[in-house]
A = this chain, B = another copy of it.
Amino acid sequence: MIIVLKPNATEKEIEHVMDRVRELGLSPHLSKGQERTIIGVIGDDRLLANHPLRAIPGVEEVVPILAPWKLAGREFKKDDTIIDVNGVKVGSRKLAIMAGPCAVEKKELTLGIAHEVKAAGASILRGGAYKPRTSPYSFQGLGNEGLDYLAEAKRQTGLPVVSEILDPRDIEYFLEKTDIIQVGARNMQNFELLKEVGAYDKPVLLKRGLSATIKEWLLSAEYIMSRGNKNVMLCERGIRTFEAQYRNTLDLSAVPALKALSHLPIIVDPSHATGKWELVAPMAKAAIAAGADGLLIEVHSNPECALCDGEESLKPAKFKELMKDLKKIAEAVDREI
């Protein structure tokens, strides 16, 4: 950590800052420049996280040097993390394609889509049973009944299942019925929920918050990991910007940037990011080319009647076609589907 002092900081103020640093068991290291004096803090400056040094008179700015996470970082673990989800190895050379309806609706419909995405080559089934909707008047999901349908679809197809949790009080049923628990964008900083899913070893898919920085996102992963659950996969799903042409702006630069900072697998969701089915295929291809370990794609056999997000769902035939194109891209970057 670097503490930058104001140009007019007094000797007494400087001494006071140095004392505060020493009190915390760290060593201050003074450098006087022509226009500014700075204090370098030697030692694990994360100890200072709880202490607002900028509030001390004479201090102009505090610049952290170390990344604030440990377990999620590449420095902590050099090798890529590979998470085994009932035999599907997320983070391995083989890409994980998670596909299915946005929301679980009727049972037959869900089973039908599950068979279709399996036939097209998907490796994991996605489907929302509890739905976080912006409006209280929108369809809120089938709840546990929806999880039952997904479990039935898994029985029939063999595909592991990923579904989103909204309430820590629902954890038991999720542990029983799903293979990956999704924490959605709106809950990325719902820390009580993170602590809850961190208490088990069930794989977690942690979506990036709508305006979360990469640092905040990794710290949310750290919440889960510091509770003991190391099976975290990250999912980029678009950030909020000024551009209104698509629902969100898919931030694919996050993929290689995260690969450098962290060892966790990274999945991309082009469906929620763009909100338009026409853009899903090109962005899915781009995600794989950028180095993503997998995709989360919405597929629905009758999008115009979907109770949620039909605008962004691919029909099974389009999805099948996309899988063929993805195979070619995967090969071009030395991966496979």
CB A316 to nearest CB in B, in angstroms, measures 14
Closest to A189 in B: B186
Q: Are B245 and A241 in contact (CB under 8 A)?
A: no
> Shortest distance in angstroms between A56's beta carbon and chain B's nearest beta carbon?
5
**A44 interface residue per 8 A CB criterion:** yes
| Interface of chain A, main secondary structure | mixed
For chain A residues 175-200, which have a beta carbon within 8 Å of chain B? Answer: 186-187, 189-192
Residue of B nearest to A195 (CB): B136
Report whether A245 and B214 are in contact in the complex, using a CB–CB cutoff of 8 Å.
yes
Stretch from A33-41, A88-96, A144-152 contacting the other chain: A33-41
Interface segment out of the listed A79-87, A108-116, A118-126, A325-333: A325-333
A102 to chain B, nearest CB (A): 10
Most chain B beta carbons < 10 A, residue from A52, A54, A226, A313:
A52
A 260-293 contacts with B by CB, 8 A: 260, 273-274, 277-279, 282-283, 285-291
Task: Answer whether residue A65 sits at the interface, using C-beta atoms and an 8 A cutoff.
Answer: yes
30 A-B contact pairs sorted by A residue (CB < 8 Å): A31-B31, A33-B41, A35-B44, A35-B66, A40-B40, A46-B137, A50-B139, A55-B303, A63-B63, A132-B189, A136-B219, A136-B222, A137-B226, A168-B168, A186-B191, A190-B190, A211-B240, A213-B242, A214-B245, A239-B242, A241-B249, A246-B253, A252-B286, A260-B278, A285-B333, A328-B332, A328-B333, A329-B329, A329-B332, A329-B333
Check if A31 sits within 8 Å of B36, measured CB to CB. Answer: no
A306 within 8 A of B: yes
Query: For residues 214 through 266 of chain A, which have their beta carbon under 8 Å from a beta carbon of chain B?
Result: 214-216, 219, 222-223, 226-227, 239-246, 249-257, 260
